[in-house]
């Protein structure tokens, strides 16, 4: 509530709130009941009331916002809670949190000193582990432990491509990406972390008691040969799950080393997870259409990082920001005019009043956002309010200047106030973490997530499943300055934990869930684990409506070509009922049906298998039927054969 709106007739804010509730009281429901009133940290109250009463209350003078109450615990990698993993029931306790399952991460390496890779609470390393901790430049083999049980690096392909460039002999993560995805999959418990005050709480991976093996295959860039070596070594070392958040150019299965190696891994009982890629929202952009791997799409979570913009008239609007400080932006002059609102040059911003908050318009075609920070740093402006519908800005962890982003709809009142008031002012409060169904329901399909059908093979539906992939907080290289904002031009910040978005972040979520299922059901095959996740996935969001597609401005319903079977539901996957299982021979028969040459077929399947009964009707837990454009208006039958087991 805006306490400044309280009429003088009331002796206390409690009486004011009670009066409003009496006015909003429904004739058909029980009387609203105030639970708490707040007057120190903020102004407002908690109340038991129905939706009709809430709508009436919203019309009261001084009302700012209302949020449904919910269960709270101290948490940071919030996606585990969003996936309903809990300590009381379900997959976590049933799997002993993934105990002794080994996840191999192929990426940019690892930052072993991260608290997420400490081995407190871990038991002895399983004797079946055959891997090693490879030392190297700035990496002592003693840095491995009972959590991070293996480390290797593969750089020979990169060296061959650039013989004149130095390529370090080390698995140390000099970028942060590999550290991030590893901690998402199986990071240990770490208390008291945040991203500069945003998303505070306890970080943990999806399978916090699983083991990690890190394989560095990317050195700035990467080469397929190095990735192939990494997969090969991981299988030899004895990993159970492989997570690969790497994109590649090749579409044909028989030319793709990752597809080929993934086939061999599946044959050895190892489940391989790939990220779908970030080429959405266009269709047919999933390159990793690999039938014997799990391909993962990215979705949002129900967490929003806000900056409250409070106008001088008491109106408060929640915008988006990750500015990393408690900047003192209090009751400053608010400036808006059509000329200055372009904000696209230092000269233009120099005309803004000293110490003001300026309102800037950002259009979809205008790339000024990439230069705005330097323009603002050279000005006398104290803060900025950016008007934009660009969804990519709402994933930015690089807010380099005090300010917030608001939508065009929110801006109507802001601009009207700034234009009509004689002395408009505003304040901005930072470091707010909001959880719930606002500003939009979750999950929703990320606009950047690649869509199917898969380019590699379009007769199996890809992607397979969706998992959290936007603004995921996880461990990072603390010395990578791109991991945090840059204020002005001189101060570089970094952080042990970073917020990142991409299908790269979604993939290790699925790897972690697969590890939990493997621990709970040691006898399940990779196909059974994949089937359990897919057949129990949820196609509804947290408002019980179909999952929406953020790639379209009308937020239409997402299709299976974007979300696959839907959002992973770990607890339901623990007991899926029936599963679609598949053997190596089934995958061989699928490859044999692809009209490849015998050499191309053997490239994937190896010469130990014969094409005895080619069939494209793989025993897979999804269905897709393809029709040509010249078949429009005609009637066809498509028959699928599946075998399920308990």
| CA 200 from centre of chain | 17
| CA 491 from centre of chain | 28
In the block, residue with structure tokens 């970094």: 494
- d(CA 191, CA 326) in angstroms, rounded, equals 22
Q: With contact defined as beta carbons under 8 Å apart, do 148 and 77 qualify?
A: no
Of 471, 462, 466, 474, the closest CA to residue 443 belongs to 466
Of 228, 230, 189, the closest CA to residue 213 belongs to 230
In the block, residue with structure tokens 């409250």: 308
Largest distance between two CA atoms of the chain: 89
In the block, residue with structure tokens 């992939």: 469
The tens digit of pLDDT for each residue in 297-316 reads 999 999 888 888 999 999 99
Cβ-based neighbour number of residue 27 at 10 Å: 5
- d(CA 503, CA 244) in angstroms, rounded, equals 10
Note the pTM of the prediction, 2 decimals: 0.84
- d(CA 303, CA 305) in angstroms, rounded, equals 7
pLDDT of residue 485: 53
pLDDT of residue 221: 77
pLDDT of residue 364: 57
pLDDT of residue 49: 82
Domains of the chain: residue spans and CATH = 1-66 (no CATH), 78-302+442-574 (3.40.50.200), 303-435 (3.50.30.30)
Q: Spell out, as residue ranges, where the chain has pLDDT lower than 70.
A: 27-30, 35-43, 64-77, 363-370, 481-494, 607-608
Q: Which residues are catalytic?
A: 107, 177, 504
Element (H, E) at 561: helix 560-563
């Amino acid at each position: 509530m805006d306490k400044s709106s309280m009429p003088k007739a009331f002796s206390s804010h409690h009486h004011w709130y009670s009066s409003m509730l009496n006015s909003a009281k429904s004739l058909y429901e029980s009387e609203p009941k105030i639970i708490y009133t707040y007057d120190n940290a903020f102004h407002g109250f908690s109340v038991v009331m129905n939706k009709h009463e809430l709508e009436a209350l919203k019309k009261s003078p001084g009302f700012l916002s209302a949020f449904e109450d919910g269960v709270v615990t101290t948490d940071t990698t919030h996606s585990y809670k969003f996936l309903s993993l809990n300590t009381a029931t379900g997959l976590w306790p049933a799997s002993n949190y993934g105990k002794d399952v080994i996840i191999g991460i192929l990426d940019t390496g690892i930052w072993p000193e991260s608290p997420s890779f400490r081995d407190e609470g871990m038991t002895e390393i399983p004797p079946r582990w055959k891997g090693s901790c490879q030392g190297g430049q700035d990496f002592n083999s003693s840095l491995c432990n009972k959590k991070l049980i293996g480390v290797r690096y593969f750089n020979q392909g990169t060296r061959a491509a650039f013989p004149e460039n130095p390529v370090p002999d080390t698995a140390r993560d000099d970028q942060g990406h590999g550290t991030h995805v590893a901690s998402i999959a199986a990071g240990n418990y770490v208390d008291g972390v945040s991203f500069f005050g945003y998303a505070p709480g306890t970080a943990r991976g999806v399978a916090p008691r699983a083991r990690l093996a890190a394989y560095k295959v990317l050195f700035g860039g990467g080469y397929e040969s190095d990735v192939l070596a990494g997969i090969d070594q991981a299988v030899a070392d004895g990993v159970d799950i492989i997570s690969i958040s790497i994109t590649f150019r090749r579409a044909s299965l028989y030319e793709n080393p990752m597809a080929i190696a993934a086939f061999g891994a599946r044959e050895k009982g190892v489940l391989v997870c790939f990220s779908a890629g970030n080429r959405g929202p266009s269709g047919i952009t999933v390159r990793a259409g690999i039938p014997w791997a799990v391909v993962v799409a990215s979705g949002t979570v129900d967490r929003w990082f806000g900056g409250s913009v409070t106008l001088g008239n008491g109106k408060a609007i929640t915008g988006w920001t990750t500015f990393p400080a408690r900047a003192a932006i209090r009751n400053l002059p608010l400036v808006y005019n059509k000329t200055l609102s372009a904000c696209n040059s230092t000269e233009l911003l120099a005309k803004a009043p000293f110490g003001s908050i300026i309102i800037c318009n950002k259009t979809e075609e205008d790339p000024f956002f990439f230069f705005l920070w330097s323009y603002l740093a050279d000005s006398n402006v104290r803060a900025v309010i950016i008007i934009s519908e660009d969804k990519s800005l709402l994933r930015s962890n690089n807010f380099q200047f005090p300010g917030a982003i608001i939508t065009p709809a929110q801006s109507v009142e802001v601009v009207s106030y700034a234009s009509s008031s004689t002395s408009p002012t505003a304040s901005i409060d930072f470091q707010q973490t909001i959880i719930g169904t606002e500003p939009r329901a979750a999950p929703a399909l990320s606009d950047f997530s690649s869509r199917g059908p898969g380019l590699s093979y379009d007769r199996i539906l890809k992607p397979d499943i969706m998992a959290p992939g936007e603004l995921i907080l996880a461990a990072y290289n603390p010395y990578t300055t791109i991991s945090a904002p840059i204020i002005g031009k001189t101060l570089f910040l970094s952080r042990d934990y970073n917020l990142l978005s991409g299908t790269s972040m979604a993939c290790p979520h699925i790897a972690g869930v697969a590890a939990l299922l493997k621990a709970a059901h040691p006898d399940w095959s990779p196909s059974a684990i994949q089937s359990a996740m897919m057949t129990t996935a949820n196609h509804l969001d947290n408002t019980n409506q179909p999952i929406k597609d953020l790639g379209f401005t009308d937020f239409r319903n997402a299709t299976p070509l974007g979300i696959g079977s839907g959002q992973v539901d770990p607890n339901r996957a623990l007991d899926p009922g029936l599963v679609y299982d598949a053997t190596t021979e089934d995958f061989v028969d699928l490859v044999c049906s692809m009209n490849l040459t015998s050499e191309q077929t053997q490239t994937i399947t190896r010469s130990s298998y014969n094409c005895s009964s080619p069939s494209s009707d793989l025993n897979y837990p999804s269905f897709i039927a393809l029709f040509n454009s010249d078949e429009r208006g005609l009637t066809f039958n498509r028959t699928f054969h599946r075998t399920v087991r308990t």
